[in-house]
Structure 1
């Protein structure tokens, strides 16, 4: 609604508002500093329409044109460069990732499940698979970039406007509407390092009539996956930086990763393959000695030969690949009485490639860990990884995700009493994933290599006759598929929702019109995980997640904007949300979970002491209803091999440093189950901001905001390490190194921990059950600064400069109320900067974009000494030995063992230092140049990551694990070139 009186805004704010108005082209013809009566728009963070884009809470607006000129093809690629996104997410290369084809966003480091994703102001279905096997979250990769008009990012609590999940902020993706004309974009590119070709094709357009409009967008993009074999500097274990090598690795090199081996279980020796065996596998294997170094005696022993893998990580994922098709269709129809009907349909289909370890065979008897071979009359273990030629090509070593999502909505909008704008909307959002993993059927592999079971020994061991002709020779693809299969994990999620809202000027106040907005919403959401029923029985899968169910939500909210003075405006909002009527997918009845009810509110002030200055502040409460998988997750099992801390202490093995590999009394395999916790409390929080927007000059502006976000009753999964350590502490009062254990929560804490541990009659671990808990609190603080400047010249053209800076000044987290609360800012990313310079002269244009990600702690960074901190951080001695990282040891190797005997370690009595090193910062530069060939045709050349900054040339000096770098922040792609053709018609 247009008002008769408005504050004047200078060029920069004025131009930003015009960018939000689809039909405002005529206004751009006016003089730059002339007063304008601008139409109103709705900006994220408020449902009240306004003529000034800037409000009491900061909103970062990124237009489609900005996304394109900065070199990005997808919305997610752009979002990762936001300076507010200081938290990291799972990297594509991360071993054990539960969501290899999904991309989350972690604003302020609060977690990907605490940022709300909206499309056109509406919620979309969660990604069906749980992030890290624990939480629900939104996937930002399935947003069709060709259909996007702009992205608005509000950082801070916004539950009073949008409800649950908006703890760290809201990302609202606004799609194109009322578009007239057509544009086709064709882009192809490649990486200069190889292995990564990309293609993008999009068509966006629209048509309008006297009473109707239709806007459409189609997009196809293809990204080749990047695997270890594509980057020789990261494809093998010995690519790890030398500083990270341990004593054995420095003495004899890395133990070969098993490609093909046969082991005598009674002696632990590998049985040598027949001569020439390893060379039959097309260079994938080599004949290797399995050397073992005894540090205590400084001796090397050969435990036999095997076929080792030539490149350990050749088939492990570095960067995911996918082939995606998406489309969006939006239409409106105007009735005679001012009523407008509209509908929108967005569809997304994706096929992604990913993989880690290839399909394998392990010949063991499940009861004893080996089988008795009748031919050799010995207990044997067989281990074998299949090669590309054996399975019929690389594609059969890799896994795929098939994904389909759609989001449909429709509604009516109009005016009431010529004063109020109203709308009513219904919609359904649905997401389906089918995850296909290439695996080997256990029994069929036994049938192929071992043949029928011949009986049992007197000790009950299974007897087979290994077919060594088959074992030591490559199989054909036809033979492989006698035992190979494709496991299919299925998952889906949905949200059905309806809403109605009204907004307008309620009455005339003493300083101007008092505006309001009201909204009511109802929604039903659900998810369902369907892992392959053969998992864990016929074959092993990388991850098996179980759970599912549904719940309803009812919400109502009010918002007011009240001018207090001509220069001072107040805003206030309140909202009530109720989640309830839970039903698990395996239950026909509602569950007795109760309901999560929360009332949230916010308030803000806008003060304009001068025409060019806005001083603002806001306060908001927020909440996050427990994610459905936190509540409804069903037991999802995995086998873990680690130390039984309790038995280690009770047996006295800790006194002689004998609690690791080799001591089968304390180091063995057991089940870890992950289950939801039905009676979790909602997370609650508050946030506040204070800052200013200053139009320094008619063509320059500066924005700065200080912000604080606090979260209480934080929900996190208590992991297996904490459960095992706490069980030992509760029963013995000791840590595994013999130091006193500190109880963080008294008897109630111990009762909860002990209830999660299951032991047999002999005290041996059978299983533990990890899961989510309401813990204590997390608080983050920081500043955001944005600067923009425009320079127009006759001879050199027009320039636009922009700079965004975020510094996360403080991060504190208490898992338990009894824990200390030290500053933890140095544990993660502390600062980010993004900036660009755009240039236009005649038919030419260019853009330079830079993204700086601050340094992150190295893997041996010393955190501190409180109970939660891993003191880590000890530098190795010259021989590679790393002393205990316990605070009491202080990076010293003791002269005597805990039992008083002399310590045989060559470094006994010596000390090393704590490590405080960081890796980074990392700076990525994108450059593009465009030329307008004709009125309708344009070509663009893009060079992304100009200086080839990548994970393989920014390795962490002490990271031994694949892929040796902070890959949550850096990819392995490197420099990319792309050429684009744009045609308007």
Structure 2
């Protein structure tokens, strides 16, 4: 096949950067050679030009560094730094300055998935690509509301490199590319077949794993047909809370005394104090939780039966069995045309347990409260957790939840030349299916069991309100274990099915020599796309809530269904103009349109980049533009759900002379209402103005460094409207008082429903475009190569991020909050680190290579800073401040034992670093005395690998 190449002379800067890539197996590489005609020639094109490649552009060019900073993490980086998955790679990146929900976050909406966040922005603000094409979205929603990509199913052993483009990139990549773009590029060929086996374990216990990988390339006799086949198989055990000291019990090192779980308790429904009604003084419960349940008294609350060890019965890391298959094939149809096909499939079962805090029964869920004539003058509730002995068998291992993931992506395409133009055309379909098999308690069976065995028959209604039932419980039966057969009679599993799909057709034309300029030939590219995508979330029918009672057939749980689809099309163009030898300007523009619910939502985006090279070794660069995120299918089509609550009726209070903020004496200060919430088909795109500027300097061929500044101004962010915000908005709209309504007055007056006498009846609180945030930060990187003669060579690499400002304004009428300096105001949000750094030093000599990798999380707010604010002083002496920087180290050794066999050992978290110092700044009532959104307590991991090459 004939492939044209231009032959520009690489600058010293390009040569230095390429040298860093070629010599270092652990440095932060910038690119690797890619066949200029493969299917990754999409908006993330990396094309060989005289052995110098570029990324982040439609147009091939001769410079590695451009106006768009790109970090490339090679397969060697992943191997030598000990990363076990794509989530490891991205979560330990210097870009990952924000906390996320994951396997440690018990009972989160997507506990079985893995995500990453760039710079503390929402996971859905990052565009994920595989070989330049969009990944199918995960069918379940992050935090119950946001669309994102699950990156756990990407075969890490088959990765060629990962390209990370920070900053707004919508002018090339379209929707979602606000924080940046991550393009995972899988191998297209291997020089010789490979088979590897890797096994690992944690020194603290649990999490044993084994991974098998096979990859080989095959060619026809005439060389026109070539294919790569790769398979990866993984299995790993979960890590349980009881396998780590920090999570096995309640917090004994906190600023308050440790308090065991309330495994059996009678609660006053009004003030939360306890009544101890067990005639046997907890003697019948002492066998629970491995014999740790006893009688305890909590000061100011009362006596109950509980255990210090119950927090340990949850998973800290998901168990997993997974298989991935990947194939990439090409066929040279002629000298100017090549056909290609790509298939990637995933089957994955993820296992996790939410723990005893979410495995219980109580009267409050169904009855609200009840009246016991033997406890006069109040209403009470019973509450008891289920111990492993109640479950029987293997205890909590028998009631783990399982997420089954099935994904398939198929692509067919052609590339080559049309006259003087290069072209690339493909069609692709990606589909992701999720089955969530959740352990549940069935509402009628579990309530009937306790009615028959504990509560007894209802004896009327309470004397206070005439609403709550009257029971005279058998407290001896309540404070007793449950037979495992009885437990199984009211528990079981339900399956919820969901899926997403994405169909895409793409056509691109590129010219590297459109016309001549003083600095060289101008390049031009244009790409058109058309496609459609869909989302369907169908929970088990028994989990759908009744719109009148707000209850489902599942005790304590409901779920909301949703389904929708949208079609889309886009047109993208890019023009690269070397105006003079040192000055190049690149402009790109894109138009995206989405057909959603019979409405068209469209958005043009643009960017303008400048590269100035006053010296052969120096690059000054900058880029300005816009980015956006279209309304997601979940935000648009999430189903209707109901709830009961209370809110201040600001409008009626205003009529009575009470202004917002001064309604304590208003009759309507706390009005009951029925609320409903859902997606919103009238949402507008989230918009962002973005820019970056930086410098790259390479004074010698072995040293390069870069510093870049980024800025985001994001508006029209989507969030569920609050009842308080809706009522304030009604007050502003009806009374013409000074203030900014939360949304349009037309919407507000439609969403607030009142009765004939003006009384508040119901509220509709959908998702709306309501919030905005701004973010500023600086990144830096360094690569240095050192030849030490007979002792081999050394390679140094480092990356650094410093967040200068991160401000969020949640609603139009509330002031902005500085997330870096005012954590108390944003208690409901994940934590943020102001700085993050990673670095490595690698040594290579002969058949040996070894690497030391360090990862540093800068200071983060401690628990009391979130709970009470900076400067708060607790009587124990603990204060609201910051945790010290957190540093972990990985190391690896590789030995090429023979021509075909390589043996490796990787030790992650060599010093067995744990965030145990955080425990003293948490209360004794928690079983999670560390920030589990940002830190893990898995400890030291050891991996051994053997890789055999064959077929040379």
TM-score under structure 1 normalisation? 0.82
Contact 1:920/1:954 (CA < 8 Å) preserved in 2? no
Distance 1:72 1:541 in 2: 39
The aligned residue for residue 447 of structure 1 is: 448
The aligned residue for residue 493 of structure 1 is: 500
Distance 2:168 2:809 in 1: 20
Distance 2:733 2:334 in 1: 78
The answer as to 2:875 corresponding to 1:878 is: yes
Shift of residue 153, structure 1, vs aligned partner: 0.7
The aligned residue for residue 793 of structure 1 is: 788
Contact 1:371/1:379 (CA < 8 Å) preserved in 2? yes
The aligned residue for residue 142 of structure 2 is: 131
Shift of residue 151, structure 1, vs aligned partner: 0.7
Shift of residue 955, structure 1, vs aligned partner: 3.5
CA offset digits 1:77-103 (Å, max 9, x no partner):
011122222232224333541111222
The aligned residue for residue 298 of structure 1 is: none
Distance 2:580 2:688 in 1: 31
The aligned residue for residue 805 of structure 1 is: 800
The answer as to 2:745 corresponding to 1:745 is: no
The aligned residue for residue 84 of structure 2 is: 73
Distance 2:652 2:883 in 1: 36
Query: Larger relative CO (CA 8 A, sep 6+): 1 or 2?
Result: 2
Contact 1:236/1:311 (CA < 8 Å) preserved in 2? yes
Shift of residue 872, structure 1, vs aligned partner: 3.4
Contact 2:795/2:843 (CA < 8 Å) preserved in 1? yes
Unaligned runs of 5+ residues in structure 1 are 25-35, 294-300, 583-590, 652-656, 660-664, 734-741, 863-869, 881-912
The aligned residue for residue 628 of structure 2 is: 623
Distance 1:671 1:308, change over 3 A: farther
The answer as to 2:540 corresponding to 1:521 is: no
Shift of residue 329, structure 1, vs aligned partner: 1.1
Distance 1:667 1:97, change over 3 A: farther
Shift of residue 494, structure 1, vs aligned partner: 1.0
Alignment partner of 1:948 out of 897, 902, 912: 912
The answer as to 2:563 corresponding to 1:548 is: yes
The aligned residue for residue 215 of structure 1 is: 228
CA offset digits 1:33-79 (Å, max 9, x no partner):
xxx97157562x21112232211110111111111101101111011
Distance 2:674 2:297 in 1: 29
Shift of residue 556, structure 1, vs aligned partner: 0.8
More deviation in 538-547 or 50-59? 538-547
Distance 1:206 1:368, change over 3 A: closer
SS in structure 2 at match of 1:775: strand
Shift of residue 923, structure 1, vs aligned partner: 0.8
Alignment partner of 1:399 out of 382, 398, 401: 401
Distance 1:859 1:365 in 2: 30
The answer as to 2:698 corresponding to 1:695 is: yes
The answer as to 2:376 corresponding to 1:369 is: no
Distance 1:703 1:851 in 2: 19
The answer as to 2:792 corresponding to 1:781 is: no
The aligned residue for residue 827 of structure 2 is: none
Distance 2:552 2:513 in 1: 65
Distance 1:765 1:918, change over 3 A: farther
Alignment partner of 2:96 out of 56, 66, 85: 85
The aligned residue for residue 895 of structure 1 is: none
Distance 2:888 2:799 in 1: 15
The answer as to 2:58 corresponding to 1:47 is: yes
Alignment partner of 1:532 out of 525, 540, 561: 540
Distance 1:59 1:139 in 2: 22
Alignment partner of 1:844 out of 842, 848, 873: 848
The aligned residue for residue 238 of structure 2 is: 225
SS in structure 2 at match of 1:179: coil
Distance 1:534 1:484 in 2: 13
Distance 1:767 1:879, change over 3 A: farther
Matches within 5 A, 1:696-715: 696-715=699-718
Matches within 5 A, 1:847-858: 847-858=851-862
The aligned residue for residue 975 of structure 1 is: 940
Distance 1:104 1:197 in 2: 22
CA offset digits 1:833-853 (Å, max 9, x no partner):
111111111222100001111
Shift of residue 921, structure 1, vs aligned partner: 1.1
Shift of residue 363, structure 1, vs aligned partner: 4.4
SS in structure 2 at match of 1:132: coil
Distance 1:38 1:962 in 2: 58
CA offset digits 1:580-624 (Å, max 9, x no partner):
1x2xxxxxxxx35x2211111112122223322222222222111
The answer as to 2:118 corresponding to 1:117 is: no
Distance 1:667 1:933 in 2: 75
Distance 1:658 1:771, change over 3 A: closer
More deviation in 800-809 or 642-651? 642-651
CA offset digits 1:420-469 (Å, max 9, x no partner):
21111111111111222212112112333433985653768767786778
SS in structure 2 at match of 1:619: strand
SS in structure 1 at match of 2:197: strand
The aligned residue for residue 345 of structure 2 is: 347
**RMSD (Å), alpha carbons:** 3.9
The aligned residue for residue 574 of structure 1 is: 589
The aligned residue for residue 901 of structure 2 is: 937
Shift of residue 399, structure 1, vs aligned partner: 1.8
CA offset digits 1:550-569 (Å, max 9, x no partner):
10111011111122122322
The aligned residue for residue 639 of structure 2 is: 634
Distance 2:241 2:485 in 1: 27
Contact 2:865/2:872 (CA < 8 Å) preserved in 1? no
Shift of residue 802, structure 1, vs aligned partner: 0.5
Distance 1:416 1:461, change over 3 A: closer
The aligned residue for residue 277 of structure 1 is: 284
Contact 2:118/2:126 (CA < 8 Å) preserved in 1? yes
Contact 2:649/2:760 (CA < 8 Å) preserved in 1? no
The answer as to 2:612 corresponding to 1:610 is: no
Distance 2:123 2:365 in 1: 42
CA offset digits 1:258-303 (Å, max 9, x no partner):
323467989962321536301233635523244451xxxxxxx74x
Distance 1:673 1:982, change over 3 A: farther
Distance 2:106 2:764 in 1: 22
The aligned residue for residue 263 of structure 2 is: 259
Distance 2:702 2:876 in 1: 61
Distance 1:649 1:538 in 2: 40
Contact 2:87/2:152 (CA < 8 Å) preserved in 1? yes
Shift of residue 711, structure 1, vs aligned partner: 1.5
CA offset digits 1:800-851 (Å, max 9, x no partner):
1111111122223334556555755435321111111111112221000011
Distance 1:930 1:471 in 2: 60
The aligned residue for residue 41 of structure 2 is: none
TM-score under structure 2 normalisation? 0.84
The aligned residue for residue 909 of structure 1 is: none
The aligned residue for residue 314 of structure 2 is: 316
Distance 1:469 1:816, change over 3 A: closer
The aligned residue for residue 27 of structure 2 is: none
CA offset digits 1:651-695 (Å, max 9, x no partner):
9xxxxx999xxxxx9999987654222212212222222222222
SS in structure 2 at match of 1:481: helix
Shift of residue 855, structure 1, vs aligned partner: 1.0
The answer as to 2:181 corresponding to 1:181 is: no
Shift of residue 169, structure 1, vs aligned partner: 0.8
CA offset digits 1:605-653 (Å, max 9, x no partner):
222233222222222221111222222222245678x9979899999xx
SS in structure 1 at match of 2:88: helix
